[in-house]
């Protein structure tokens, strides 16, 4: 029986040893299987940590760069605003200066016009008192009246000859278109030799209207034209004599009356 117990223990021992041996082997296999898995779990953590630090550093660099760009942009914006304000101020000053210049030019023009009117008035008074003065705006031997200069040239010419003569004198033949001019020129027509002056009034035949050299129509309200109907020759040109107007043959020889616009009175000649 002892032998039977020993055999049973030996069998148990053998089974236990076998069991322990199997358990030990399973534990070893389990550790071997878990070992790589734990290594795999630990390996990603050690790999991503430097990468995360690198990305963080790059983000910090980018943020620093953006901050620097923001500062530069802000400074540039302030500089732009300052320059715009400066340009606006300069433009405003330029506009004010332009307005002041225009105002001064207007005042200067008005002052010059006033000086010119005063000079003309003084010159006219001196001219009328002395019968002539060096301040006269008319050439020598011309008569000054209103804004015109008149010449009563005592050299006989036909009507066309007087037209050419007046053109050569940079003038035109006499035109009587206002009462003031009529009252001035008619006294000039008095002559002891009964020589009349050609005017710029003519017509192209007895059936046409009287016209001045510039095409204006004659006004009978200013003066009448004496026409001798008993003479059959053409009388298509007008002369003035002793305060009256007469129609004459344009080929007859008469004196020439010319007119031109007066020049500007020079104030320095009033001395």
Superfamily of the domain at 143-262: Mannose-Binding Protein A, subunit A (3.10.100.10)
Token output for 177: 């278109």
Distance CA 65, CA 18 (A): 71
- Which among 212, 145, 240 has a CA at the least distance from the CA of 184? 145
- Given a contact cutoff of 8 angstroms between Cβ atoms, the answer to whether 265 and 135 are in contact is yes
pLDDT digits (tens, 9 = 90+) for 234-259: 889 999 999 999 999 999 999 999 99
In the chain, what are the domain boundaries? 143-262
Calculate mean pLDDT across residues 18-24: 40
Q: Is the pLDDT of residue 29 over 80?
A: no
* Max CA pair span of the chain: 204
Which range among 9-18, 71-80, 85-94, 150-159 shows the weakest confidence by mean pLDDT? 9-18
Count of beta carbons in the 10 Å neighbourhood of residue 267: 15
The per-residue pLDDT for range 187-216, each reduced to its tens digit, is 999 976 778 999 999 999 888 899 999 999
Distances from the Cα of 115 to the Cαs of 15, 46, 103, in angstroms?
147, 103, 18
Closest CA to 148 of 260, 17, 24: 260
Alpha helices by DSSP H, the chain: 2-130, 159-168, 179-188
Q: What's the CA angle centered on 144, arms 138 and 147, to 5 degrees?
A: 90
């Amino acid at each position: 029986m002892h032998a039977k117990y020993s055999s049973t223990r030996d069998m148990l021992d053998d089974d236990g040893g076998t069991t322990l041996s199997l358990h030990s082997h399973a534990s070893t296999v389990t550790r071997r299987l878990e070992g790589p898995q734990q290594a795999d779990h630990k390996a990603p953590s050690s790999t991503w940590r430097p990468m995360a630090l690198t990305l963080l550093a790059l983000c910090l660099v980018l943020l620093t760069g953006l901050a620097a760009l923001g500062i530069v942009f802000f400074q540039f914006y302030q500089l732009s605003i300052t320059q715009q304000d400066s340009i606006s101020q300069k433009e405003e000053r330029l506009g004010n200066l332009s307005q002041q210049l225009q105002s001064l030019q207007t005042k200067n023009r008005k002052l010059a016009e006033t000086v010119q009117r005063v000079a003309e008035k003084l010159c006219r008074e001196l001219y009328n008192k002395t019968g002539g003065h060096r301040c006269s705006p008319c050439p020598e031997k011309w008569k000054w009246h209103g804004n015109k200069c008149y010449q009563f040239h005592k050299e006989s010419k036909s009507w066309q000859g007087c037209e050419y003569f007046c053109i050569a004198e940079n003038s035109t033949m006499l035109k009587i278109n206002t009462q003031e001019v009529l009252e001035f020129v008619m006294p000039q027509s008095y002559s002891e030799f009964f020589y009349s002056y050609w005017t710029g009034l003519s017509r192209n035949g007895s059936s046409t209207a009287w016209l001045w050299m510039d095409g204006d129509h004659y006004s009978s309200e200013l003066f009448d034209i004496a026409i001798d109907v008993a003479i059959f020759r053409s009388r298509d040109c007008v002369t003035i004599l002793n305060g009256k107007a007469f129609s004459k043959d344009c080929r007859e020889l008469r004196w020439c009356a010319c007119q031109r616009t007066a020049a500007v009175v020079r104030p320095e000649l009033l001395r």
